[in-house]
């Protein structure tokens, strides 16, 4: 497969393969792995993924496995399909994730309908893990994701309330800490990181991982764990942090309104300034830049927003 520069990268990866009829179990194994990595099956032949480095690596490994099973496999970079415009392909990926999110929402609602005393920790952990798996293959920002995030936040809040757990901690406990959040930060995460640096922990170090347990000493934010800082009730993570740490700065409160409307898209405060910032962040997230650089750029945007406010 030819190596391309970022500007020349073609949009799609196509894996076409065949396995001998005697390899039925291996065929099922490959199908399951393709499904897990979010590949879209073509009606004619082959499987498609957006052309990203991680997806290319996954498909190359699968192609190697198929050949080891005495099958044939070809992996190609594709500019376009004559019967499937790019927008149609994106919609097909979004529809696939919609089905995943809807299924997860049904399970989560069933779980939340149980009394708190009957909810198993392992059950909620399983649902959170499934959510992270879907996020990893949500290549085109499905709008249902925010609904699932809110549902998990409500689950975490009901757990805290049901257990009588204290929600406020000494601010000194959060100085000189590592803070962990999900990769490819959007407007709520970059603004929350800005808030942490300016009002909570000036020396905060930011880590990026889908698994909040990857660093036991790090403080999770905008992740789906009861012990972290995330959406609570109708609040985005930025608002949660403001309330938890009693941040009463007038401009920070205005930023909270802007971030809320951009992140939750519910027009609660009628603030539209964050929409453009969110689009810029989403555009940068498509570039081949690190999570660290994306976070720093995002925090600079929020810094500029903060100083522009009356």
Q: What digits encode the pLDDT tens for the residues 12-28? A: 999 999 999 999 999 99
pLDDT for the residue numbered 5:
38
Per cent of the chain over pLDDT 70 is 91
pLDDT for the residue numbered 225:
75
Find where tokens 């991680």 sit.
54
Render pLDDT for 103-152 as a digit per residue (tens, 0 to 9): 999 998 888 888 777 777 677 778 888 888 898 899 998 989 888 888 87
Asked if the model's pLDDT at residue 6 lies above 60, the reply is no
What phi, psi does 10 have (nearest 5°)? -75, 155
Cβ-Cβ contacts under 8 Å for 105 (sequence gap 6 or more):
144, 147, 148, 151
Asked if the model's pLDDT at residue 56 lies above 70, the reply is yes
Over range 79-102, report the average pLDDT: 94
Counting Cα atoms < 13 Å in the Cβ hemisphere of 291 gives 15
> Taking a C-beta distance cutoff of 8 angstroms, is the pair 205, 198 a contact?
no
pLDDT for the residue numbered 3:
39
Summary mean pLDDT of the chain? 87
Torsion of CA 252, 256, 258, 260, to 10 degrees: 170
Over range 247-268, report the average pLDDT: 91
Q: Quick one: pLDDT band at residue 53, thresholds 50, 70, 90?
A: confident
pLDDT for the residue numbered 1:
45
pLDDT for the residue numbered 132:
83
Cα distance between residue 37 and residue 13, in whole Å: 13
pLDDT for the residue numbered 223:
87
Cβ-Cβ contacts under 8 Å for 292 (sequence gap 6 or more):
206, 208
pLDDT for the residue numbered 193:
97
Question: Is the pLDDT higher at 171 or at 309?
Answer: 309
Instruction: From 291, 283, 25, select the one nearest 184 (Cα to Cα).
Output: 291
pLDDT for the residue numbered 169:
46
CATH ID of 6-78, from 3.30.70.240, 3.40.50.300, 3.40.50.880, 3.90.226.10: 3.30.70.240
pLDDT for the residue numbered 162:
55
> Taking a C-beta distance cutoff of 8 angstroms, is the pair 232, 157 a contact?
yes
- Helices 250-264, 291-308: axis angle to 10 degrees equals 130
Over range 194-222, report the average pLDDT: 92
Domain chopping of the chain, boundaries: 6-78, 86-163, 174-308
Asked if the model's pLDDT at residue 180 lies above 80, the reply is yes
pLDDT for the residue numbered 155:
72
């Amino acid at each position: 497969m030819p190596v391309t520069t970022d500007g020349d990268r073609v949009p799609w990866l196509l894996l076409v393969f065949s396995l001998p009829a005697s390899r039925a179990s291996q065929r099922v194994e490959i199908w399951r792995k393709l499904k897990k990595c979010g590949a879209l099956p073509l009606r004619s032949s082959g499987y498609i993924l957006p052309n990203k480095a991680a997806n290319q690596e996954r498909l190359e490994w699968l192609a190697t496995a198929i050949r080891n099973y005495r099958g044939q496999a070809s992996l190609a970079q594709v500019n376009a399909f004559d019967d499937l415009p790019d927008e149609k392909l994106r919609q097909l990926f979004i529809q696939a994730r919609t089905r995943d999110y809807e299924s997860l929402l049904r399970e989560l609602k069933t779980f939340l309908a149980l009394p708190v005393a009957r909810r198993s920790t392992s059950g909620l952990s399983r649902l959170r893990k499934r959510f992270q798996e879907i996020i990893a293959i949500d290549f085109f920002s499905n709008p249902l994701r925010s609904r699932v995030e809110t549902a998990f936040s409500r689950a975490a809040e009901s757990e805290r309330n049901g257990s009588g757990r204290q929600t406020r901690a000494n601010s000194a406990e959060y100085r000189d800490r590592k803070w962990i959040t999900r990769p490819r930060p959007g407007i709520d995460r970059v603004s929350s990181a800005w808030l942490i640096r300016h009002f909570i922990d000036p020396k905060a170090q930011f880590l990026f991982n889908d698994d909040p347990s990857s660093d036991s000493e790090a403080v999770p934010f905008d992740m789906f764990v009861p012990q972290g800082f995330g959406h609570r009730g109708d609040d985005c993570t930025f608002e949660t942090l403001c309330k938890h740490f009693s941040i009463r700065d007038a401009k920070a409160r205005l930023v909270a309104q802007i971030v809320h409307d951009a992140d939750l898209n519910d027009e609660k405060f009628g603030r539209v300034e964050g929409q453009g910032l969110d689009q810029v962040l989403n555009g940068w997230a498509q570039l081949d830049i690190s999570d660290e650089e994306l976070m720093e750029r995002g925090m600079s945007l929020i810094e500029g927003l903060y100083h522009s406010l009356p």
